[in-house]
Structure 1
């Protein structure tokens, strides 16, 4: 992994977001959604300022979004901003990254790409009347461009065109685990020899429809507090965010003289089918994927684990039990655990990517921040949750997620020095 890009409620860019973590800032605000028919919905969110996001776009990027009819698409804007940052971080020119004798591929992880922009227009529209007696569905005429964009493939085309992608392109949707599934797909593309480098990017804008659906499921905090694994936890708060990375073979990175953020060693993945929105506590799929990933790539041991930590009374308890079980199976001590949603909010389809990238910053700094708003362990949590700052050498770290849809993932990351291991240039 040679480049990263991040955007969250606390700012744009990894350094800005890490600074907010260091100062333990938890920027929860209130978002008011005007329906266009006289109503509104107000909900708490770790929100990104729309004007601030627009200011991050270059003039050519703003013009391109306008040309595509997507000037108001926040998810697309977040993807553009973070992909550009990741390419620059990797030492690649964002405007010609795929035209330098390199086959560059793209994997997007997203839960509802294109849908939010259409839903906004539908919810905020007034009455649309037929243009004539033969028009049975006037709303289609009015919103036909937006209907077209929910097919998701235009986003692959637009981003490929913008950043010079000339290899394989995919979209991935595995709910909150999308980032890890997308990363693994990128690794497999490299391992197959199908591409030289891969951009992997995820984004999520905390839309009112997500809020209303998750509120109906009882997944959101009524106290408007996100407290992973804490005794007083009662649910999540949504957040806006995006993360992107550049993945390439170690040989290519060494030849380019690129610095390595880390090595993605590998991951393990499993599928439950008992319930769309509840864990199957009888199958232990989550502990199985963690144990498998650590056994295959963990080496001497794991120094840090970043869980999902959504602040849910049920899911946090399930997650804690499965984490303990996984390391007990391996006769290993449970590693230090810290959760990031108190800093970021629950960014849904972007959460695994964003939190993994922050975990990599912990590896770089040798510093683990406390789990924000964690004060007292909930019943049967029994995890070594970071309640204060921890300085330590982190050589191996795990990001793990149990997600809606029965998706379970655990990925192992290691520190690496390309110059030592592959003879790269200074």
Structure 2
């Protein structure tokens, strides 16, 4: 593999430096580096980050290849600056056995646009009644450490306790989709003023908050790790903040769309804004941004949820829930967190690479940009501004809430172990 010299990049947004890649690793970082015969990437003014890691991606394969495949999903990931993604278990068949997670893992290895780490289901068939083969999935070639029934809540407290006890034995983590199902029957959007005016069934904040409160207490009781998926309310922030103050081993994520969009958009009845958990209020958005800035919320995760055209281009009540996000996540974080002064680029690297890699135990990812480390890197033109055009997405689906919206920043290059997967904004 040839040498690559990234010249004049602002590493983590700091002073310009050169970064030399030799094979799969970073050979040097500093001013005035040179390497005979190296391919030179002029990066003046651009920001260099460790490759992004997404702890919450839906790749749909096996079973819903009309929405996404491991190939198209990882191409979308590379376009967005990601070098590793964690694939959720709600596939068909469900990823609740060693065989299914190994299939997803193998597909990721074959396609090579980013590393794919499968997430195993907590319960058989996501039905919430019987624990899945957690140990077998962990011991498989995929080495699963994160388990989730995402899309469905593990609402039975006994099952949740048993899952926490089981994964504790090998240092795993249960990632909870916090939604009390009895409080959200028929829910179509956030419960509040807008839902009342529109006459749509409301998804109350307490449905999320009550599950989070229960689960952090269970995690404390068991002495295990729990991760909260797509936290979306101000009340949830306070519960997680309280739990951390007690020393409970809890981590939490927020999605880009919950950092930017509010339930006021549902007034358009455009199903592109239908998502679970739903878009919340302006107050919630501000609380989420503040919590991400102060570390109460640990990471940004996309909850990339692709759907075919026919599942979203229909009346609101019949539309599927979810949004694609891999190719726009970094731009939304720049808009909401960097350009507002809430985070610097080192903070972005921490929330979108370092900590998600730590939570998911993604070996070789989220590492410092320094000599001897794996060359998993992302180069960003932070001065760019442009309208989002889903026609150019690498994802198989187009259900983005940002179509036509101007957002800042553009990933120009992505390297996975020294191999370019994106060059000048184009997939290799």
TM over 0.5: no
TM-score by length of 1: 0.31
Higher helix share: 1
